[in-house]
Amino acid sequence: MKDVALKTCIVLFALFLAPNLSLAQSPVLATAQTLDSTAQSLGQSLSHALTVQRPFDPATYKPLNAHERWHRMVREDGGAPGVYVESLGSAAYLQVFNSPSEWKGTTRGYLRRAGSSFATDVIQNSIQESMGAVAGTDPRYFACACSGLFPRTGHALKMTLLTYSHSGHLTLDIPQLSGAYGSSMIETMWYPHRYSPLVQGVQSGHMAVGLIGAEHILQEFSPELKRFFHLRFLMHPATQ
């Protein structure tokens, strides 16, 4: 998919909604070192979530080269803390609602959910980045050159389905859509037998695409969000 972005920010809150996890009650997790690491991971995840390209300009557009694409793929498949925070948060959210119920609300069930979320994220990112490299599409989000709430929101949602080709023309973002639906359908392979790739898998794909749209809205309005939440110190502590 996906850049680790809005989904990371949303599911972090779910970490506070899992009182039935024995892991959450472990004294080890209450140490200052763990809290400091968590804060740093949160800051880096928020920083990445609020990163956005400038409005697209055909005159100055430069497509990603092979090195830049590889760096993105490595970062999103485990080279950055956001994907781990996202996986743990997603697992906590599913743990609260005991989904799937066959995995139960135990520590083992939580670990299975965390592993499933991480595997799905890696598959989704790998599909998108590899297909994008072959097709020559740009996985980055470019902000709208327009102004106003509705035009900018419409642009963010439009770019959920579209992207730019290496020549700078708008095209259907098949790699991103393939990653969202493909990973969701593959995920059902290790879920209980009642989960079907063509039913629950496709439904999960719809949700993944919706999260991409929400992520784009977050990126589109990231300058305003940064000012509102005063995140500059959190994201750039060395410059303060």
Residue spans of beta strands (DSSP E) within 23-108: none
Identify the segments of the chain with pLDDT beneath 70: 1-53, 78-79, 230-240
Q: How far, CA to CA in Å, does 122 sit from each of 21, 95, 225? A: 25, 21, 28
pTM, two decimals, is 0.75
pLDDT tens, residue by residue, 60-73:
999 999 999 998 88
Q: What is the pLDDT of residue 33?
A: 47
Annotated domain spans of the chain: 6-239
Between the alpha carbon of residue 198 and those of residues 37, 183, 189, the distances in Å are 39, 12, 11
